[in-house]
């Protein structure tokens, strides 16, 4: 009888260990799957942002377009790592810039913004007044207060909304085909 209790006790210990190992094995692929989906979304964001930049023309026609990443965007890591490349005839340079670095901000031809408070956004727009600056946000609410393009996620991909009023006032020329791909938003 004592021997049976020892065997049963050891078996229950092994059974618990096996269940725990199985549970951990199931969790790891789920976490890896979520990480892969996030990576795919970041790559889609990079393609979308570079696509918008490629179909945008600045009045001065700079040979190099500097895109400044502001705030704490969720999907900018791939853009920061892989965004420095030729897009059409323009060299694109992507840099993270602090919101309070006025000198660096003055060198931006485009902005890719994460979540920003409305007051911070309005301050940036005042700073860029009179300049042709492409504005792209990860958050749709910035489109209603002046951003030109706001990303929206569809599965692992990225689409965008466009604020036609902001595009018209920017002084930039955006290919109409890009505008047709977007869901249109106008300022209230």
Q: Given the DSSP bridges, would you call strands 90-96 and 110-113 parallel, antiparallel or unpaired? A: unpaired
* pLDDT given for residue 156 in this prediction: 59
* pLDDT given for residue 92 in this prediction: 95
Contact 124, 97 (CB under 8 A): no
pLDDT band at residue 119 under the 50/70/90 scheme: very high
| Superfamily name and number for 41-185 | Response regulator (3.40.50.2300)
- Phi-psi sector, 156: left (phi>0), alpha (psi -120 to 50), beta: alpha
pLDDT at residue 93 greater than cutoff 80: yes
**Structural domain spans, the chain:** 41-185
pLDDT at residue 63 greater than cutoff 90: no
What mean pLDDT comes out for the span 90-96? 94
pLDDT at residue 186 greater than cutoff 60: no
Q: Locate the DSSP E strands across the chain.
A: 56-57, 64-70, 85-87, 90-96, 110-113, 134-137, 149-154, 157-163, 173-174, 183-185
pLDDT band at residue 5 under the 50/70/90 scheme: low
Picking from 29-33, 56-60, 101-105, 145-149, which range would have the lowest pLDDT averaged per residue?
29-33
Q: Which two tokens stand for residue 103?
A: 């000198």
Contact 73, 114 (CB under 8 A): yes
pLDDT digits (tens, 9 = 90+) for 10-55: 444 434 333 333 233 333 343 344 445 557 888 999 999 999 999 9
pLDDT at residue 111 greater than cutoff 80: yes
* pLDDT given for residue 121 in this prediction: 93
* pLDDT given for residue 24 in this prediction: 33
* pLDDT given for residue 155 in this prediction: 65
pLDDT digits (tens, 9 = 90+) for 123-178: 999 999 999 999 999 988 898 889 999 998 766 567 899 999 999 999 999 999 88
Contact 121, 150 (CB under 8 A): no
pTM over 0.85: no
* pLDDT given for residue 169 in this prediction: 93
């Amino acid at each position: 009888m004592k021997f049976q209790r020892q065997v049963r006790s050891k078996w229950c210990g092994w059974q618990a260990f096996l269940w725990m190992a199985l549970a951990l094995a199931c969790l790891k692929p789920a976490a890896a799957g979520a990480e892969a989906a996030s990576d795919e979304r970041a790559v889609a964001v990079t393609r979308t942002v570079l696509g918008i930049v490629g179909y945008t023309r600045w009045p001065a026609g700079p040979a190099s377009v500097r895109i400044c990443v502001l705030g704490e965007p969720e999907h900018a890591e791939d853009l920061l790592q892989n965004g420095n490349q030729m897009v059409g005839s323009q060299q694109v340079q992507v840099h993270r810039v602090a919101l309070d670095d006025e000198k660096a901000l003055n060198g931006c031809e485009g902005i890719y913004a994460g979540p920003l408070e409305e007051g911070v956004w309005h301050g940036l727009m005042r700073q860029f007044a009179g300049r042709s600056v492409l504005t792209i946000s990860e958050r749709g609410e910035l489109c209603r207060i002046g951003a030109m393009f706001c990303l929206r996620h569809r599965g692992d991909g990225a689409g965008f909304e466009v604020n036609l009023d902001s595009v018209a006032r920017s002084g930039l020329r955006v290919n109409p085909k890009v505008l047709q791909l977007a869901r249109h938003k106008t300022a209230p």
